[in-house]
Structure 1
Amino acid sequence: MGAGHAHDLYRPGDSPLHRLPPHCKVVAVVVFVFAVVATPREAYWAFGAYALLLAVAAAVGRVPAGYVARRVVVEIPFVVFALALPFLATGPKTEFLGLTVSHSGLLGAWNILAKGTLGVVASILLAATTTVRDLLLGLERLRMPQLLVQIMQFMVRYTTVIAGEMGRMRVARESRGFQAKDVRQLPVVAKSAGALFIRSYERGERVHLAMLSRGYTGTMPVIVDVRANRAQWGAAAVLPAVAAVVCAAAWAGAG
């Protein structure tokens, strides 16, 4: 897979976070998210501490707050669901901002918003400082099944190819006077989608035959072997280690 297939979330740079091996960052983010999820929802101070940790990580990675904020909108569907919980949940009622809402629903909404937002921000920081190619190399280094890694590699490689094919088909339809204005045009769009599927399937078969003719036996050759030394593992462990301490302190306080 070529190195030129960068994703929109990646922010080029040369910060300490950018230089960390990808598998170290993946492990750090996963452990951090587990610590956040395991934290009691009533430990409000702990979530503030997690937010501060992510702010420090963003500063180290030189990722602006506005850059992160624009991409947090991906969790809007979960926000809508969380905002509805206080009104839909049953149980004892309480007053909040002049409204009578469910106490358990209010805590549930806070739980979803706080933990979901922290997890999304951590993922955004990972994506902003790591290219897709490096992420896949890191997953391979972490012994993720080869087949899954290869599927993701081809998804990254051929998404732009399929998107280009869709664009050409759209231009061909419009050059013949087609305009999708209402549901009456759905059969044409459905036929186009079917044609795109067939073309993609045939392309996949040709690519597979080309790989077999070049000696493919089920595993991809290792072009770049990413490794990490103790110092790099130690630097990556700072975030999850502090998060684990905060989580333990939150449980101790709750007990």
Structure 2
Amino acid sequence: MLYRPGSSAVHRLPAQVKIVCALLAVVCVVATPRTQFWAFGAYLVLLAAVWAAAAVPVGHVARRAVIEVPFVVVALVMPFLGGGERFRFLGMSLSEQGALAGWNILAKGTLGVLVSLTLAATTTPRELVVGLQRLHAPAVLTTIATLMLRYLEVIAAEARRMRTARISRGHDPRFLWQVGATARGIGALFVRSYERGERVHLAMVSRGWTGRMPDGGTTAGAGAWLAGLTPVVLAATVLAAAVLLR
């Protein structure tokens, strides 16, 4: 579960404000010159301040940042495979350009993941969808996301029931020769989900469905935008200083 319930000022901000702020923060991180190492530390301090304000423990974010491991592996390999001038470090010959490229991926990728996790930790999935709708995202996108969130638990429950039925009939998913039964179960789950989706769509159309989800979000006032954009203004200040000092 990415969302961490809370009643902080960050949690109470309208979702559209947090989405815009997260996007602008990532833009600032990406636009920062890779050689300005101090700037990435400043971004991390700003993120830590947001975590403190939202009462989100560092461990909550760190455990979920493991998703970035493949990019970390790529970043660690690049100093060995890069070309150009080389330098010695701990008895190893490393590429200067490769080391900078790896640092660029590691620093910006990590901060981007942390910003996304911060947004997810302080905003429920439904609020995210409503925020996108408030930002005039394509109606098809928000509708698909809403229906996916609403019926994902239904499909998961159906999958659990099918698994229980298979096990009660002697199926043991731990053995390799049972992979065929597992594959057939996945196919049956897809067919059932498709049929359920058709029934749900017909029910929605019969009740006056117009192709757009109802708007139940919170309107963002000037105060909310000012509070939400404060960290972004600080990040933009860091970016401007990093560009000038390059």
Q: Which residue of 2 is the match for residue 233 of structure 1? A: 225
The separation in 2 between residues aligned to 1:98 and 1:239, in whole angstroms, is 42
Q: Which residue of 2 is the match for residue 56 of structure 1? A: 49
1:91 Cα offset (Å): 2.4
1:169 Cα offset (Å): 1.3
1:27 and 2:20 correspond? yes
Instruction: Select which of 232, 235, 242 maps to 1:243.
Output: 235
Q: Which residue of 2 is the match for residue 38 of structure 1? A: 31
TM-score by length of 1: 0.93
Identity %: 53
**Residues 172-201 of structure 1: per-residue CA shift (max 9 Å, x gap):** 111111123444322222211111110010
**Residues 143-198 of structure 1: per-residue CA shift (max 9 Å, x gap):** 00111001001111111111111111111111111123444322222211111110
The separation in 1 between residues aligned to 2:33 and 2:92, in whole angstroms, is 25
Moved over 6 A (4+): none
Q: Which residue of 2 is the match for residue 149 of structure 1? A: 142
Aligned 1:194-213 pairs, distance under 5 A: 194-213=187-206
The separation in 1 between residues aligned to 2:90 and 2:128, in whole angstroms, is 44
Aligned 1:101-112 pairs, distance under 5 A: 101-112=94-105
The separation in 2 between residues aligned to 1:100 and 1:111, in whole angstroms, is 19
1:221 Cα offset (Å): 2.4
SS at match of 1:237: helix
TM-score by length of 2: 0.96
Q: Which residue of 2 is the match for residue 71 of structure 1? A: 64
Contact 2:129 2:146 in 1 (8 A): yes
1:119 and 2:108 correspond? no
Equivalent residues, number? 246
The separation in 1 between residues aligned to 2:53 and 2:173, in whole angstroms, is 48
Amino acid at match of 1:22: A
- Runs of 5+ consecutive residues of structure 2 not aligned to the other structure: none
Contact 2:127 2:217 in 1 (8 A): no
- Runs of 5+ consecutive residues of structure 1 not aligned to the other structure: 1-7
